[in-house]
Amino acid sequence: MKVPDYIAGLKAYVPGKPIEELEREYGIASPVKLASNENALGPSPKAVEAIREALRDLHRYPDGYSFRLREKLAEKLSVSEEEIVFGNGSNEIIELLARTFLRPGDEVVMPAPSFLMYEIMVQASGARPVKVPLKGLHVDLEGLASRLTPATRMVFVNNPNNPTGTVISRTQFEQFLKMIPADVLVVVDEAYAEFVRDPHCARGLDYLHGDNEVVILRTFSKAYGLAGLRIGYGVMQKAVADVMNRVRQPFNVNSLAQIGALAALNDTAFFQETIRLVHQELDRLYAEMDRLGLAYLPSQANFFLIDVGIDARVVFENMLRKGVIVRAMTAYGYPTYIRITVGLPKENRRFVKALEEILNP
């Protein structure tokens, strides 16, 4: 078997530890998972009911165009229906971008650390990821622009950035776009955009029809609580979407995902409660970190970074033994940081208690 070097050199994405695995390994009942930026409230109740009603039709192929969901989403976002591409999670949109527009020898500029799938999908296409370190835990837009070459085909911007939760302002983004050639795709990943409180944060949709070709990535996994259904989308100029749809598989978004996402879009009460919970609990967790004397990075997402002051892997392992799953940031280049997702109030209290016991035995 011959494997191309750029495939053989890939490092697999490592997701957060599943609850079931923790239960098996440690024999812990009812563990708390605060590692994967999921919705603590679960899925939208309206989505669950709509999916239950649709189970009788599983013998039918899904709508390859996602017509009803497309119609509703286009109305909500004030974009054309032809400017949306749906995917099996926003991950697939990243993959489709790579498969459609990249070839071996091309370059793609991206911040580091950020979402690991950018690098994986780019390298899997034979192109070269060009990683630009963050500047003070913020995306370095000037640094990204400075690494452009004639081989650059695409640049990724994560706003809010994962894992730091920091955002890019409108002024910063507009200055950045002026430095990007018109033929370079600017991909703005807004997986956590619904949680942003900063009124100055740039919104990719505001630049959809500007001089640059901007692609906005969104997902139903976070604020809408549908991570298990795997459905996301990209918004882009019609010409870009048309080419990507030629590469996209015809039934890439299953019927239950489409039905669940449509119902979730209509579940305003659940969405508002999700945002309220995240903001309320973030503020409470900040206050607890202040009490413990721990440095942290205020976030515009549903997670945040905490500097625990010791090896994050040690804290991660000790937290597991107490039935709390967090994410150590060692692999991201932050050896003393952990990242936690905002959970339910009782989950957050359990996290704080466990962390305090570990750091102050």
For the stretch 86-102, pLDDT in tens is 999 999 999 999 999 99
Percent of the chain with pLDDT over 70: 94
What DSSP line would sit under 1-41, residue for residue? ----HHHHT-----PPPPHHHHHHHH--SS-EE-SS---TT
Residue appearing with tokens 């989950």: 347
Mean pLDDT, range 152-174, rounded to an integer: 97
Contact 141, 132 (CB under 8 A): no
Long-range pairs of 317-323 with CB within 8 A, sequence gap ≥ 24 = 318/358, 319/351, 319/354, 319/355, 319/358, 320/17, 320/22, 320/25, 320/26, 321/26, 321/28, 322/354, 322/357, 322/358, 323/22, 323/26, 323/28, 323/29, 323/30, 323/31, 323/32, 323/350, 323/354
Name the architecture of domain 5-43+269-359.
Alpha-Beta Complex (3.90)
Percent of the chain past pLDDT 90, that is, above it, reads 89
pTM reported for the whole predicted model: 0.93
CA 65 – CA 252 distance, rounded (Å): 10
CA distance 247 to 250: 9
pLDDT digits (tens, 9 = 90+) for 201-243: 999 999 999 999 999 999 999 999 999 999 999 999 999 999 9
Distance CA 47, CA 37 (A): 19
Q: How confident is the model at residue 15 (pLDDT cuts 50, 70, 90)?
A: low
Q: So where are the chain's domains?
A: 5-43+269-359, 45-265
CATH of domain 45-265: 3.40.640.10
Question: pLDDT tens digit string along 94-133?
Answer: 999 999 999 999 999 999 999 989 999 999 999 999 999 9
Strand 214-219 to 232-235 pairing: antiparallel
- pLDDT score at 295: 98
Tell me the mean pLDDT in the region 296-322: 97
Q: Are 33 and 303 in contact (CB under 8 A)?
A: no
What is the mean predicted confidence (pLDDT) over 20-27? 66
Q: Are the folds of 5-43+269-359 and 45-265 the same? A: no
Which segment of 24-33, 74-83, 178-187 scores lowest on mean pLDDT? 24-33
DSSP three-state, residue 68: helix
Closest CA to 150 of 119, 183, 121: 183
Tell me the residue type at 354: A
List the alpha helices (DSSP H) in the chain. Answer: 5-8, 19-26, 45-54, 67-77, 90-101, 116-124, 141-146, 170-178, 238-247, 255-265, 268-292, 312-321, 345-359
Q: Give the orientation angle of helix 238-247 with respect to helix 90-101, to 10 degrees.
A: 90
3-state secondary structure of 96: helix
Q: What is the mean pLDDT of the chain?
A: 94
